[in-house]
Structure 1
Amino acid sequence: MGTNGSTMLEPLRQGLPPIDAASVSSSASCALPARYEAVRGARQFTSATLTQWEIGDRFDDVALVVSELVTNALRHALPPDTRDDVSYDPPVRLHLMRWASRLVCAVRDPSPDSPATRESEEDFSAESGRGLFLVESFSDSWGWHPLAGTLHGKVVWALFRLTDTPASP
């Protein structure tokens, strides 16, 4: 669990609204093992990070989105033989980046395939496939892009707008 997300900022900006990388006030990342228990670890990491950044009031929405992004990466982006292999190098990373008025959650995985939403109502009623619908519903925007250079895979990100003043009751 390091706090240096600099390797993520350059490719991440390609798919995000214009953001000045120099204005990033905080970033944190953690590697996640190829096991479904990693979702719980991602939520704990998110909770600790948001509390440290004094935006813990956003935890519910952010944690739901983080859970969905990590679950999708574990379910759809890993080769089947790597799941539950404790010796496999953590192929999924969670990155949290904070600007003055924005928070970005990004999950990196080894698959180049685009995330897919379910098209029909029948598909939507299935437990699997609602993840990106929830990501879209609870974040202000989301997207993805392939990694460049020597990195393989993609990044799926979600952006949350932060307000400086507490919401009125």
Structure 2
Amino acid sequence: MSTGTALAVDPLVVTCTLAPRFEAVRTARDFARTALQRWCLMELFDDVALVASELVTNALRHAVGARPDPSGGAPGEYDFPTQPSPEGRLPIRISLVHRAPQVVCAVSDPSSTGPVAREADFVAESGRGLHLVESFSRSWGWHPLGSGKVVWAVFEAEPAGASRLDGHALDGLGGRVEIGGRHRRSA
């Protein structure tokens, strides 16, 4: 089972270290559900869970498990490291940050290679993950770390009583607030 360690110094910034196994995707979704419930933002769960799943899957496939299983396992199985890095960290971490009116989902991994969106191929079984991340978040991007990188996605958490209106939200007092468009940044 893929269990994570949640850190809670600031209740609006939570982090979970994920074991490098495919069960980590389910752990990331469960972690997102717990954080969003605590913040009373369950309306974001479907989008955040989908994006967290895609980012963790990408980290497992491209950053941690890039080598096929040498034991000749089934297609799609990977040889994941099971020991912490020399710094004592397992290779993948997911963080959620709530700074009203936004929630940021960030996944860090040990690879310094940035994510690359492939041309959409609707027949292929994979390769659409970053297109989903772009579609379900307000914006996304990535930044290199000292060792590795972090891939992040931003979600709008509308204030209670706000409603969307043509790219704007009503602020609860009848005023219109512009909701920014999507953009991608890389280092």
TM-score, normalised relative to structure 1: 0.78
Question: What displacement does 1:140 show?
Answer: 0.3
1:81-160 aligned at under 5 Å gives the runs 83-88=79-84, 89-119=89-119, 121=120, 123-148=121-146, 152-160=147-155
Report which structure shows greater RCO (CA 8 Å, sep ≥6): 1
Counterpart check, 1:3 vs 2:8: yes
Q: Number of residue pairs matched?
A: 145
For 1:67 and 1:166, locate their aligned partners in 2 and report how far apart those are by CA, in whole Å.
29
| Native 8 Å contact 2:64 2:80 kept in 1 | no
Question: What displacement does 1:83 show?
Answer: 3.6
Q: Which residue of 2 aligns with 1:164?
A: 159
Question: What displacement does 1:87 show?
Answer: 3.2
Residue from 20, 32, 49 that aligns with 2:35: 49
Question: What displacement does 1:100 show?
Answer: 1.3
Which structure shows the bigger proportion of residues in strand conformation?
Answer: 2
Please give the secondary structure, in 2, of the residue aligned with 1:67: helix
Structure 2: runs of 5 or more not aligned:
1-5, 70-77, 165-187
- Deviating runs (4+, > 4 A) in structure 1? 166-169
For 1:83 and 1:3, locate their aligned partners in 2 and report how far apart those are by CA, in whole Å.
31
| Native 8 Å contact 2:14 2:96 kept in 1 | yes
Counterpart check, 1:61 vs 2:47: yes
Q: Which range moved further: 54-63 or 74-83?
A: 74-83
For 1:153 and 1:4, locate their aligned partners in 2 and report how far apart those are by CA, in whole Å.
23
| Native 8 Å contact 1:34 1:85 kept in 2 | yes
| Native 8 Å contact 2:64 2:81 kept in 1 | no
Question: What displacement does 1:167 show?
Answer: 5.7
Per-residue CA shift, 1:141-164, capped at 9, x if unaligned? 00001013xxx0000000001110
Q: Which residue of 2 aligns with 1:22?
A: none
TM-score, normalised relative to structure 2: 0.71
Identity score, percent = 52
| Native 8 Å contact 1:34 1:83 kept in 2 | no
Question: What displacement does 1:168 show?
Answer: 5.4
Question: What displacement does 1:116 show?
Answer: 1.1
Residue 4 and residue 75 in structure 1: after superposition, are their counterparts in 2 closer, same or farther (change >3 A)?
Answer: farther
